[in-house]
């Protein structure tokens, strides 16, 4: 679904039960994934659900996906381990693995009507790895997503923001860039820039995500940037 690039606001419907695309990351006590790996897997799981044949006009997920994607989209990240993670594979969705992380994107629906195996997963994040800020971009190719240094966010919040940025890059970019990314195996780099580098990237990035202010940070906070590195 590529098209033009642009900025977008990450917010929700003004109702008691907004539509949400919920995500869940597998976080075991032993050898948990890194924040960057979860963020990358969240991007791929979101895109995987949107492009799934069941999300297309003739598919059984189409109405739910199109209603959510046509509104002010909202994403919620949960975490699970062991048996709870296995049970979370039952509700409709798409699971993706990347760099040691597993994330499942679930078919969107009202936030307060999540299937029981999903609703039982915790939303609150537990600490993972220490984030290392960089003052210059790495030599990389593919989709590059930068997370703001100007607001403190849990890894779950970061993953939701990265998924939003990656979704809009995939939907709104030049089809040639998306095709090139597909052919390369969909490489993604998640970076945490210093404030100086962030300011420079803000001037360049075609995709810029602003938060709706429903959790953790103030409304309007610029949370993530996305662009192609070729």
Question: What pLDDT is attached to residue 214?
Answer: 64
Phi-psi bin for 61: left (phi > 0), alpha (psi -120 to 50), beta?
Answer: alpha
Q: Which helix (H) or strand (E) holds 19?
A: strand 19-26
Residue with structure tokens 């679904």?
A: 1
Residue with structure tokens 């709706």?
A: 212
Question: What pLDDT is attached to residue 71?
Answer: 64
Question: What pLDDT is attached to residue 221?
Answer: 87
What pTM value is reported for the model? 0.90
In 3D space, the residue among 182, 142, 184, 146 whose CA is nearest the CA of residue 165 turns out to be 146
Question: What pLDDT is attached to residue 1?
Answer: 46
Residue with structure tokens 């409709």?
A: 92
Question: What pLDDT is attached to residue 18?
Answer: 85
Q: What are phi and psi of 193, to 5 degrees?
A: -75, 160
**pLDDT beneath 70: ranges in the chain:** 1-16, 71, 125, 213-215, 218
How far apart are the C-alpha atoms of 117 and 138, rounded to whole Å? 39
Cβ atoms 35, 127 nearer than 8 A: no
How far apart are the C-alpha atoms of 211 and 170, rounded to whole Å? 19
- C-beta atoms surrounding 172 within 10 Å: 18
């Amino acid at each position: 679904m590529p098209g033009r690039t642009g900025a977008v606001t990450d917010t929700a419907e003004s109702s008691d039960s907004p539509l949400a695309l919920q995500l869940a990351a597998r976080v075991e006590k032993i050898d948990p994934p890194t924040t960057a790996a979860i963020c990358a897997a969240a991007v791929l799981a979101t895109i995987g659900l949107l492009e799934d044949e069941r999300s297309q006009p003739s598919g059984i997920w189409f109405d739910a996906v199109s209603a959510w994607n046509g509104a002010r989209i909202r994403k919620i990240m949960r975490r699970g381990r062991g048996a709870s993670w296995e049970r979370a594979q039952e509700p409709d969705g798409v699971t993706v693995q990347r760099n040691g992380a597993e994330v499942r994107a679930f078919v969107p629906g009202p936030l307060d009507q999540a299937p029981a195996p999903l609703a039982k997963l915790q939303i609150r994040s537990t600490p993972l790895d220490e984030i290392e800020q960089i003052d210059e971009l790495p030599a990389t190719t593919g989709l590059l997503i930068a997370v703001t240094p100007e607001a403190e966010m849990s890894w779950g919040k970061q993953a939701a923001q990265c998924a939003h940025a990656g979704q809009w890059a995939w939907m709104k970019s030049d089809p040639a860039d998306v095709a090139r990314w597909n052919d390369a195996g969909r490489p993604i780099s998640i970076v945490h820039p210093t404030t100086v580098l962030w300011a420079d990237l803000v001037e360049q990035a075609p995709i810029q995500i602003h938060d709706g202010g429903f959790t953790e940070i103030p409304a309007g906070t610029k949370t993530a940037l996305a662009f192609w590195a070729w």
